[in-house]
Amino acid sequence: MKNYIDLSDISDLEKLISESLKLKAENSAAETGKGKTLGMLFFNPSLRTRLSTEKAARLLGMEVMVMNADKDGWALEFEDGAIMDSTKAEHIKEAAAVLSQYCDVIAVRAFPGLIDKHKDESEQVMNSFRKYASVPVINLESATGHPLQALTDAITITELNKKSKPKVVLTWAPHPKALPQSVANSFVSMMKKMNVDLVIANPDGYDLNPEITGETPVMNDQKKALENADFVYVKNWSSYDQYGKILYTKESWTLNNEKLKQTNNAKVMHCLPVRRNVVIADEVLDGENSVVIQEAGNRTYAAQAVLKALLENK
Ligand code: CP
């Protein structure tokens, strides 16, 4: 593996999932990363991604450097040819080249602005690091994708699944803030690579990018979509059509136990952080169907498998 920027960087998904589960079973330190350094830059907040990726790197024997790039670093210019006479003090050309001297792998989190769809879809930050870094780059959640979360979700479904082809429902849920489509995009792309029966449930106006959803059935009736589901993945996202907007909040889409009755005793997943009693009701998060903590635990092994593949260039 050369980079882990989007799911197309995975050459053999089954092998990567097996490797993650093997690392989870072993849960031991290794020498693969000895003498190597992971540098992580966060332009946005994080709990799981930051700590699980750091833990993964340390389990491989790596040194880790973390920077809150939005607060502690120089403001970066990403436009080629820019006349830098305003607030941006450093160009990504120098920043990425310098970081490549200090780090063997660079990992970056940079959320979308959710104002300019075209700009967000150009993935300027992630692609600039890809272009100007001379070491592998990992996407820790970008404008349009969260591939480490998607790998985690694939691992979690693989270890819990009891069927040859489980029904997986990705359902939109309400949220007071406008959130990116990144997690939902990567989850859909990942499920399309797996042997699952995927259905998306969202209210009218919240359809994801059709280039990502493709032929996946999209239902506006959440209750109907949930029928016989084996896995329910709950997530909010802002409108893609009316880009970055909250059209309405639809409290009736909060996942509760009554709705779970429609399912095949489904496991309930969410990437976290989750707003209790807005996105998912307490009774579900505190009940035995919720696997959100196990899912978050798997973030370490997804990151470990990706880092190992990058270090070994496999
Ligand atoms: N799921 C996830 O990416 O969590 P954080 O935002 O806390 O990293």
DSSP-derived secondary structure for 11-27: S-HHHHHHHHHHHHHH-
Burial level of 115, CB count in 10 A (0-12/13-18/19+)? exposed
The set of residues, in sequence order, having a beta carbon less than 8 Å from that of 162 and lying 6+ positions away, is: 230
146 is in an annotated binding site: yes
Q: The sheet that has 63-67: what strands, in order across it? A: 63-67, 37-42, 105-109, 137-139
> 129 is written with which tokens?
């690091």
Distances (CA, A) of 278 to 121, 193, 222, 269: 28, 30, 16, 15
Note the pLDDT of residue 227. Answer: 98
CB 222 near ligand 1, within 6 Å:
no
**205 SS3 class:** coil
271 marked as binding residue? yes
Q: Is 294 in the pocket of ligand 1 (CB under 6 A)?
A: no
Per-state percent for the chain, helix, strand, coil, to nearest 5:
40, 15, 45
Q: Is the CB of 263 under 6 A from ligand 1?
A: no
What is the sign of the dihedral through the CA atoms of 70, 71, 72 and 77? Answer: positive
What does 249-313 look like in DSSP terms, one character per residue? --GGGSB-HHHHTTSSS-EEE--S---BTTTB-HHHHTSTTB-HHHHHHHHHHHHHHHHHHHHHT
**Does residue 149's CB lie within 6 angstroms of at least one atom of ligand 1?**
yes
Contact of 233 with 272, CB cutoff 8 Å: no
Residue 291 phi, psi dihedral angles, 5° rounding: -120, 20
Residues ≥6 apart with Cβ < 8 Å to 86:
none
Best residue for ligand 1 mutational test, from 41, 43, 44, 48 (most atoms within 8 Å of Cβ): 48
| Distance, C-alpha 290 to centroid of its chain | 19
Q: How many CB atoms lie under 10 A from the CB of residue 228?
A: 12
pTM of the model: 0.97
CA–CA gap between residue 138 and residue 107 (Å, rounded): 4
Report the separation in Å between the CA atom of 266 and the middle of ligand 1, taken as the mean of its atom positions: 23
Q: Tell me whether the omega of the peptide bond preceding residue 176 falls within 30 degrees of 0, making it cis.
A: no
pLDDT at 28: 78
Q: Hey, whose CA ends up nearest to atom 1 of ligand 1? A: 271
CA distance 163 to 85: 60
Predicted local distance difference test score (pLDDT) of residue 166: 98
Q: Under DSSP, is residue 189 helix (H, G, I), strand (E, B) or coil?
A: helix
Domains of the chain: 7-145+299-313 (3.40.50.1370), 147-296 (3.40.50.1370)
299 is in an annotated binding site: yes
Provide the residue-wise pLDDT of the chain in tens; the chain has 314 residues: 999 999 999 999 999 999 999 999 998 778 899 999 999 999 999 999 999 999 999 999 999 999 999 899 999 999 999 999 999 999 999 999 999 999 999 999 999 999 999 999 999 999 999 999 999 999 999 999 999 999 999 999 999 999 999 999 999 999 999 999 999 999 999 999 999 999 999 999 999 999 999 999 999 999 999 999 999 999 999 999 999 999 987 789 999 999 999 999 999 999 999 999 999 999 999 999 999 999 999 999 999 999 999 999 87
The answer to whether the beta carbons of residues 175 and 221 sit under 8 Å apart is: no
Q: How confident is the model at residue 31, as a pLDDT?
A: 85
CA distance 157 to 151: 10
